[in-house]
Amino acid sequence: MNSRLAHTLLKDVGFSLLAEGRTIRIRADGYSMYPGIKPGSVIYIEPVADNTIPATGEITAVKKDSGFIVHRLVRIIEKDGRSYVVTRGDSSLEEDDPEPLSHLAGKVVKVELPSGKVVSEKSLINKHPNYTLNRLFLRIILQISRLKKIMLTF
């Protein structure tokens, strides 16, 4: 089985489990939620109960064609009689495009960082992240990491 097919199957299984009311675990593989969620962190996503919407500042999982995008809920907007969620990664330059409320798959209830530290749902809520500072901090960390790799080759 090729990796693309395996990814599609896992994504579909994740969507199905959430639809059945089950909590799923996925591994973070990007820096968009840095420093709160680091690559390699295990993210626990709980389905959103019917007729409930996560609060602004909570970290949500939104269904995309490629899988889940795990970003912070910025706001809910109404357009043409439909509700949309607007999310943003904590170190992202801009907000994500609005997604229909029906694409909201769940919310993050726990994160296990690569260090082993467990971060609870309550600690994850942040209504006003400092996006600029997070982005700057991320760029510094990535540059230090690159320099370390270069130094190891000598």
> What does the pLDDT look like over 99-120, one tens digit per residue?
999 999 999 999 999 999 999 8
Q: Which of 66, 63, 70 minimizes the C-alpha distance to 27?
A: 70
Determine whether 21 is exposed, middle or buried from the number of CB atoms within 10 Å of its CB (0-12, 13-18, 19+). Answer: exposed
pLDDT band at residue 50 using 50, 70 and 90 as cut-offs: confident
Q: Is the pLDDT of residue 14 over 90?
A: no
* Total tally of structural domains belonging to the chain: 1
Mean pLDDT of the chain: 88
Report the pLDDT value the prediction gives residue 97, as an integer from 0 to 100. 95
Q: CA-CA-CA-CA torsion for 30, 35, 38, 44, nearest 10 degrees?
A: -100
Q: What is the pTM for the complete model shown?
A: 0.82
Q: Which of 8, 31, 10, 58 minimizes the C-alpha distance to 114?
A: 31
CATH of the domain at 50: 2.10.109.10
Q: Is the pLDDT of residue 142 over 70?
A: yes
pLDDT band at residue 49 using 50, 70 and 90 as cut-offs: confident
CA distances from 116 to 27, 95, 112 (A): 13, 30, 6
In tens, the pLDDT along 73-91 reads 999 999 999 999 999 999 9
Domain residues for 144?
A: 3-152
Q: Tell me, what DSSP letter sits at residue 34?
A: T
Cis peptide leading into 35, omega within 30 of 0?
A: yes
Catalogue the E-assigned strands of the chain: 24-27, 42-47, 59-64, 67-79, 82-88, 99-100, 104-112, 118-120
Q: How far apart are CA 39 and CA 26, in angstroms?
A: 11
